[in-house]
């Protein structure tokens, strides 16, 4: 997301890193650069040690460290925080710090980066850098975990010390061995439940698991069983970075904070829902990762289903973590299993936007991996019976766009039968998530003049018109919530398994494999995806370059 606030919002810009330190630093003001005071109404997370497995990886550089830096600038990290990076290969802590600094400086200067901060604040970076420590170790060797236990034991002094978050920024094949060795080394032992933080319960120990959480139902169940041998469900934070985006979280605000929407948010008034997550880029040199995964596994049972869950869930009694997660779990339980005729797979061929997928590095010349997936999903419950949810995602498409379009049912046309009205514009509420953030509502009005003619109009809202833009790579809220012990935005084991169960039939189809259709790079996708909706008498929302919020 862009991070430069507009001129009229300058007075609302986030606090400077030169503001006073947290109170615990007052005893030794020369010891370290000071983090800013936290914004009004917000409090720093409790002191903890963040242990990052995969400290030299791309995820750590591009997302975790920018998020940590942003939290430090906003004063939401306690001065007692320490960060231990664990990775293969010997290197000095100072070299790791320098590498991270150079990466952050590069991303900050890149206007296309989600971490476009312009220039790093040296005092804020120094505050973070002095808390960084590097540890070399093989993830599948017991020795590093013994050294880690000794180091963490040395830090466990004083009230709320000994809190640790273990972040697995590694390939999925390392999830099980790392958690197993953490458990066997006694590093996951904690007192109390910690569902609401660590007050009165002693130090907490938490694990953050990145996606992909399994590759199908069987592997997800196996991974869940393995994790629960060594940790409680309340200790496991299965992360989906889509849920860290402010515009995704605002879906709940749009639905439940506005009386105009909830009464019509049901099958009697809604015709269909479209959820789109399209990219203009290709696999960008990640062919070896993408080949066994593909667009469907990578996006549908996690990212797109999470958006579906927030759009379709019943109102929770509160925003308590379990109330929200229970409501989402009900939706995933109610998903009808997808069948062969409910999905379309595609793969980009050579086109206006570039080379074919099969010509990308580390991709098989006869690859059948889908780079595009479309699905028709039905929710078998009272609110949504008969309402189709159409999902699509893909690479090398015509536009970069993540949005949700809720189309209302057409009004009876009889009133306009004697007027020159060929068709009425569908009423559509579009929630735009990326790359611009806002909403748009399409509706009908009378065209000025003596004749009753109906024309299309729209009303739109753009976040940057009302609020100062805030540096956010999508991980800030998730890291902060994990330190607080708030699991609202994290996935629960039962929901993950329900999501995989809904798609397992198309991942492992009976008979012939589901065909993968070509589409030109830079197009809107394969023609077969258009036919999927045409059979229902519907069509995809136009996918073209430009901003449909405020054209």
Catalytic residues: 303
**How far, CA to CA in Å, does 465 sit from each of 118, 139, 462, 474?**
21, 47, 6, 21
- Between CA 10 and CA 5 the distance in angstroms is 6
**Rounded Cα distance, 423 and 197, in Å:** 56
Q: Are 286 and 200 in contact (CB under 8 A)?
A: no
275 sits in which H/E element: strand 270-278
CA pair distance 500, 219, nearest whole angstrom = 10
Cβ neighbours around 511 below 10 Å, total: 6
d(Cα 104, Cα 27) in Å, to the nearest integer?
Answer: 31
Structural tokens at position 7: 């001129």
**Residue among 374, 371, 396, 399 at smallest CA distance from 542:** 399
**Lookup result for tokens 């889509």:** 242
Tokens coding 419: 């007027």
Counting DSSP H helices and E strands in the chain, the numbers are: 16, 15
Q: In the block, which residue shows the tokens 């753009």? A: 462
The strand pair at 164-168 and 401-408 is best described as: unpaired
Tokens of 123: 């005092």
Which residues partner with 439 through β-bridges?
431, 461
- Among 398, 320, 392, CA closest to 538: 392
Measured CA to CA, the distance from residue 134 to residue 136 in angstroms comes to 7
């Amino acid at each position: 997301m862009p991070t430069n606030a507009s001129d009229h919002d300058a007075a609302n810009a986030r606090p400077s890193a030169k503001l006073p330190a947290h109170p615990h630093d007052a005893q030794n003001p020369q010891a370290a650069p000071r983090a800013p005071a936290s914004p009004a109404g917000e409090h720093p997370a409790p002191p903890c040690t963040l242990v990052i497995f995969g400290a030299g990886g791309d995820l750590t550089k591009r997302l975790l460290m920018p998020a940590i830096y942003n939290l430090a600038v906003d004063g939401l990290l306690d001065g007692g925080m320490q960060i231990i990076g664990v990775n293969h290969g010997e290197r000095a802590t100072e070299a790791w710090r320098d590498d991270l600094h150079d990466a952050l400086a590069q991303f900050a200067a890149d206007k296309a980066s989600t971490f476009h901060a312009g220039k790093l604040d040296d005092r804020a970076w120094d505050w973070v850098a002095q808390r960084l420590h590097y540890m070399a170790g093989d993830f599948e060797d017991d020795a590093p975990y013994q050294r880690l236990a000794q180091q963490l034991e040395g830090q466990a002094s004083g009230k709320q010390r000994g809190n640790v978050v273990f972040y697995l920024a590694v390939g999925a094949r390392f999830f099980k061995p790392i958690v197993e060795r953490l458990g066997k080394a006694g590093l996951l032992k904690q007192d109390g439940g910690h569902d609401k933080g660590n007050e009165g319960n002693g130090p907490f120990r938490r694990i953050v698991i990145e996606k992909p959480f399994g590759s199908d139902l069987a592997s997800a169940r196996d991974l869940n069983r393995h994790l629960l041998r060594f940790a409680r469900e309340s200790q496991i934070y299965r992360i989906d970075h889509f849920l860290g985006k402010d515009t995704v979280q605002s879906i709940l605000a749009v639905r439940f904070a506005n009386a105009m929407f909830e009464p019509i948010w049901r099958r009697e008034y809604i015709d269909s829902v479209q959820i789109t997550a399209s990219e203009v880029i290709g696999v960008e040199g990640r062919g070896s990762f993408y080949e066994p995964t593909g667009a469907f596994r990578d996006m549908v049972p996690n990212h797109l289903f999470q958006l579906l869950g927030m759009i379709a869930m019943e109102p929770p009694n509160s925003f308590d973590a379990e109330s929200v997660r229970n409501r989402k779990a009900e939706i995933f339980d109610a998903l009808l299993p997808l069948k062969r005729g409910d999905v379309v797979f595609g793969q980009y061929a050579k086109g206006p936007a570039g080379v074919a997928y099969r010509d990308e590095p580390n991709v098989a010349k006869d690859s059948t991996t889908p780079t595009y997936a479309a699905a028709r999903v039905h929710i078998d419950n009272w609110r949504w019976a008969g309402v189709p949810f159409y999902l699509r995602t893909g690479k090398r498409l015509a536009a970069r766009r993540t949005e949700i379009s809720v189309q209302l049912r057409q009004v009876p046309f009889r009133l306009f039968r004697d007027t020159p009205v060929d068709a009425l514009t569908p009423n559509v509420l579009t929630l735009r998530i990326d790359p611009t953030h806002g909403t748009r509502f399409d509706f009908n009005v009378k065209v000025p003049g003596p004749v009753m003619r109906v024309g299309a109009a729209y009303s739109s809202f753009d976040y940057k018109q009302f609020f100062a833009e805030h540096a956010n790579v999508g991980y800030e809220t998730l890291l902060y919530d994990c330190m607080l012990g708030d699991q609202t935005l994290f996935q629960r084991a039962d929901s993950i398994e329900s999501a995989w169960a809904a798609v397992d039939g198309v991942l492992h189809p009976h008979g012939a494999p589901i065909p993968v259709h070509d589409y030109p790079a830079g197009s809107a996708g394969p023609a077969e995806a258009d036919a999927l909706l045409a059979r229902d008498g519907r069509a995809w929302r136009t996918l073209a370059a430009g901003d449909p919020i405020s054209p």
